[in-house]
Structure 1
């Protein structure tokens, strides 16, 4: 048995896979003050469903997979360790200067962003290594020890080290690490060449700073998670989801917590890709995961989940650059818990503030007083207040209506129905614009893409979003309410390693290239040997960071190690680079040499067997509910059939209006839309 949990801002999702391949799904409210408790409560639901105690359930499981936003939330709120940064003498302002550039160069009202580690906690170390790897100035160990004594007096909780050209020769960084371990025992530290071996100083320093600052927090979180899961009788592998769309052993995360910053959201495109492929839909797929707090958008192009190294926490150029590979996801403050209010100018606003898990929407009866998107859906009749989460939570519809009446409808001079619809419409428009931004920027026409709707709140307005975008079809998977947790079940074991190297097509050093490839291959194989959860043979792929001579920025080009080291290796790689450069920038430069400045190796090993991923639906849950009166804009209130998702026969065409319910989500199909249930169990809507 395998367990996969994803802790969101409002709900904690759990997907359970039995040994025979049956999939079941559970949701439990997130506990913000104790996220692990939310996971345990979801596990208790799974145990209760099987007539087992929690200990009996955990004893049966062999793998526990966990996704969490704990790391990124800590950075956003500033709840990270007091961290110092050690740099080469003369380069104290790496984090201050960044890479230059401003969002609006001539707008002086935008303050210059603060460095992740303040300047007064940045210390210069006398040493210097040249770009060739030669030591120009020996490391002054006495000066390092003096700095470490100062850090002890200032009660620094973590240390990041970023010395010049350590990616070529890490000797000084390694020695500083040894001195930290000796003179600051128990204080975690991060060496920049180890966490992000790129040539760019700011990116290495930023990655090291973020990673080090998270180590005390994530170490405590992971030890608590592990102890409590083990305490319930679990003896199997504990895996954590990474930003790059895979998973690693919890011990690996404790060593490098930067890997899990975008943990949960990175899984939605994995499952979105699976369902789009199963439905044989368009080459371009938009995956939208609607939770209670955020709306996460990602793209899958020609079956490839895009990875970026431009992950910023906050706005680009104003926030903090992670520098670690991550599935490209754009998040906006919109979801079922987004709060609606009328501003001083008399305009309706929805989000980005969210009611979250506590106090939650008004209808939850947990102290919330401000109307949300969920309250609007309840008021319109879209959500059955007696069947929320399969009836486990009873919602207060009169309270939702009253909150919308007082705070939105009366100030705007409209009916509660119209005010509720305007809340839904405004939330929809914000989501549409977010999708348009990410698609148009990459040359994708949303009208030619399929929209995958995931998250517990996806069904409430995804039909309206798809229609506004011009999408011909919308797919809401049967496990869509827990899209990220489902993706966790499908994702492989992934780890990436990188090294800096300089090889030019004019001076093609095969020996240096072969040595670099072999070093990375050895690291991948060592990682695989330490990961017993992998069931399939590991696959190692290689990417070169390359550029034309004189260019500042590089692009990623995949290569075959055997071919690139062969007699025609330089020409083969050159042709591949020219093609990739032309594909991205519409230009190629055959007259310039091509430079390789770094190599990355990625290991992938399957965790799950390649079998069908279908949700198990007990027969007792089948059967449609009685029709109810639903408000649809332009039609008023209509007597609308309410269908049970599991009871819809595959292939049978349906015409809106309809409400499709399961124990985890509600799908709204308005009168203008058609729908059917596919052979994979997904609801396919043609807006």
Structure 2
């Protein structure tokens, strides 16, 4: 399209809605379309069509004029949770077939004998032992038994598996045996997905390497088909720019890189939200200073995803589990630390046989959706309760693109009221209050459990449903400032605009602070630097444009678990660099565990480098909002200040702060401002909320 603007697009496929953010270089615009679970790509194209109509161009022209299309999806995570990944075999060193069975973790409640022992990702019938043994120093004790490998391949053929993972002992020191197995698999099982553990995740712990290799291999057929299909349909629809997928760390990957190692896309969608929230707090909340903590809760139609920004950095974890911690399956990779609970707008409310109310874990999802959507759903949801309470206007939902059926919402919530023996508004209040309580409990676990005081943090609400109870959550936590970003209803998709292209490489090389092998570490850094060169070439940029973040997994001698600490400058030219590294480890240990041992010996294990290209937007993230006339409606505010329905003003924020009770209408969301709260608008368009009406200051 000659002379057309150059847009950037980011999408996030949720359980209920597919969010799209369009960046034209001056402002962000937010759009939503219903998710299509049977064909997610169709929902993405529907969102593109909605955005195209809003800017007055054809969808083909919008895609043709977009230089980058960033995509976030929980496709891989959902496949793992539902057990719909590809049938996978595992090849291991002879004598060690039970790596996945012995695992790590255990019962959360050690005396609850009703909890079944977790099943391994790969059953014993698909686990094959091959002869050959390497030692910890890389020497070969027994040559690889290629006949055993070929025999295993024949058994794999008979089992009709679609993927194979290989995890041999000490392959992190010498990967020659695994590489040879990979060659034989490629020769005799062409077309079958293969993952070698030392190439994917070269860490010393066998369970973590085996688990990550199996997860990755099992996802390859599914995600390769998904990514190829999405890219093909986007290209057919006119996309001329680059397709990127968001990784679990909140960065982005080239589409082919994501297909080659799909394990990195497990938390693809939710991982984008905290980066956007950090940007919002830094640019708009004056009181936080240069270093701040923030609590991020992203409430969509299906779940509420909770994450942290600590000391101005998004909190990540290497203890990433699929399913329950300790009883699920560990990925072995860093991920944004996200805790998800079933408390979204579509979460279903039920009354059990004892008359107790429950909200979730069931969800109405996108199909049929809440009762008020008029698509056949009859169960009461949080969204239905919000309509009954007056927090959502049925005529302006999603900026008027979807008219809600208030009568259907009242019938659904009325059924809950009848079971509880209360009136309609009381039932709606109970549903909303219980959803709020569940969110507060989850936030307290992730904050207090990591030494973060919620009272000193900023609460950031994202997702279309966050505004419904952000004030009540802030009051329960004692948080002084809450923020609904201008693009809050699509917070995760907006975070995709900040996601740099990145790749992480690692090598295991044990050494210690008292006998530091500077030469050996130098060799590791040189090898990792060569991988950075290859990454720069793959994305087509000069090495000088790549930002490097070096780190190492370290621990005190005889400790079991490691901490990731930054490595100064990625080099050790003198003793000063080692002293800085050791000091940083002591500081990190004190921060994580409340204590340290300044005289203790530090052991260093796995060295890493994160290479990234692109940085966060330097301009403010401003969002366009449709103009609405101020009105009034009956609203029932939930929580401790609940006083029944009252007529309150419904308006947009402008230059003048608004005191509750009121409803603030924002882009694709409503913000409930109960009595005693105050909201003001930052220059960037973010809604700054003081739960108890103290003065709000914003950066100009």
Q: TM-score over 0.5 for the alignment?
A: yes
* Residue of structure 2 equivalent to 1:9: 15
Distance change >3 Å, CA 571–CA 683, structure 1 → 2? closer
Q: 2:549 aligns with which of 526, 541, 564?
A: 541
Q: Distance in 2 between the 1:535 and 1:391 partners?
A: 48
Report deviation, 1:536: 8.7
Aligned CA-pair RMSD: 1.6
Q: Distance in 2 between the 1:254 and 1:64 partners?
A: 16
1:65 partner SS:
strand
Q: 2:486 aligns with which of 478, 481, 493?
A: 478
Report deviation, 1:562: 6.0
Report deviation, 1:117: 1.0
Q: Contact 1:295–1:431 at 8 Å: present in 2 too?
A: yes
Q: Distance in 2 between the 1:535 and 1:466 partners?
A: 45
Unaligned runs of 5+ in 2: 1-6, 692-700
Q: Distance in 1 between the 2:579 and 2:615 partners?
A: 37
Q: TM-score when scaled to structure 2? A: 0.95
Q: Contact 1:521–1:540 at 8 Å: present in 2 too?
A: no
* Residue of structure 2 equivalent to 1:56: 61
Q: 1:247 aligns with which of 220, 245, 252?
A: 252
2:322 maps to 1:301? no
Report deviation, 1:590: 4.6
More displaced stretch, 634-643 vs 393-402: 634-643
2:680 maps to 1:676? yes
Distance change >3 Å, CA 535–CA 590, structure 1 → 2? closer
Q: Contact 1:534–1:607 at 8 Å: present in 2 too?
A: no
Q: Distance in 1 between the 2:538 and 2:95 partners?
A: 40
Q: Distance in 1 between the 2:605 and 2:69 partners?
A: 38
Q: Distance in 1 between the 2:19 and 2:118 partners?
A: 36
Q: Distance in 2 between the 1:570 and 1:270 partners?
A: 31
Q: Contact 1:517–1:561 at 8 Å: present in 2 too?
A: no
Q: 1:582 aligns with which of 585, 590, 599?
A: 590
Q: Contact 1:286–1:452 at 8 Å: present in 2 too?
A: yes
More displaced stretch, 159-168 vs 588-597: 588-597
* Residue of structure 1 equivalent to 2:671: 667
1:157-206: per-residue Cα shift (whole Å, max 9, x none)?
Answer: 00000000101100001111111100000101001111111100000000
Q: Distance in 1 between the 2:305 and 2:438 partners?
A: 12
Q: Distance in 2 between the 1:636 and 1:100 partners?
A: 48
Report deviation, 1:549: 1.9
2:377 maps to 1:355? no
More displaced stretch, 543-552 vs 322-331: 543-552
1:541-565: per-residue Cα shift (whole Å, max 9, x none)?
Answer: 1111112222222211211246633
Q: Distance in 2 between the 1:333 and 1:127 partners?
A: 47
Q: Contact 1:534–1:605 at 8 Å: present in 2 too?
A: no
* Residue of structure 2 equivalent to 1:437: 445
Q: TM-score when scaled to structure 1? A: 0.96
2:693 maps to 1:685? no
Q: Distance in 2 between the 1:25 and 1:536 partners?
A: 34
* Residue of structure 2 equivalent to 1:46: 51
Equivalent residues, number: 678
Q: Distance in 1 between the 2:595 and 2:651 partners?
A: 53
Q: Contact 2:525–2:570 at 8 Å: present in 1 too?
A: no
Q: Contact 1:535–1:606 at 8 Å: present in 2 too?
A: no
1:564 partner SS:
coil
Q: Contact 1:655–1:674 at 8 Å: present in 2 too?
A: yes
2:155 maps to 1:150? yes
* Residue of structure 1 equivalent to 2:698: none
Q: Contact 1:188–1:216 at 8 Å: present in 2 too?
A: yes
* Residue of structure 2 equivalent to 1:447: 455
Q: 1:187 aligns with which of 161, 174, 192?
A: 192
2:209 maps to 1:201? no
Q: Contact 2:18–2:43 at 8 Å: present in 1 too?
A: yes
2:276 maps to 1:271? yes
Report deviation, 1:535: 12
Q: Contact 1:533–1:607 at 8 Å: present in 2 too?
A: no
Distance change >3 Å, CA 471–CA 516, structure 1 → 2? same
Distance change >3 Å, CA 257–CA 307, structure 1 → 2? same
Q: Distance in 2 between the 1:28 and 1:534 partners?
A: 38
Q: 2:381 aligns with which of 372, 393, 399?
A: 372
Unaligned runs of 5+ in 1: none
1:108-142: per-residue Cα shift (whole Å, max 9, x none)?
Answer: 21110001111111111101110001111110111
* Residue of structure 2 equivalent to 1:78: 83
* Residue of structure 1 equivalent to 2:174: 169
Q: Contact 2:536–2:543 at 8 Å: present in 1 too?
A: no
Q: Distance in 1 between the 2:592 and 2:428 partners?
A: 44
* Residue of structure 1 equivalent to 2:694: none
Q: Distance in 1 between the 2:623 and 2:532 partners?
A: 34
Distance change >3 Å, CA 340–CA 506, structure 1 → 2? same
Q: Contact 1:535–1:605 at 8 Å: present in 2 too?
A: no
* Residue of structure 1 equivalent to 2:695: none
1:570-593: per-residue Cα shift (whole Å, max 9, x none)?
Answer: 434333323332333343335543
2:106 maps to 1:98? no
Q: 1:605 aligns with which of 588, 608, 613?
A: 613
Report deviation, 1:403: 1.6
1:2-56: per-residue Cα shift (whole Å, max 9, x none)?
Answer: 11000000000000111x3332111000000000000000000111122222111
Q: Contact 2:631–2:649 at 8 Å: present in 1 too?
A: yes
Report deviation, 1:532: 3.9
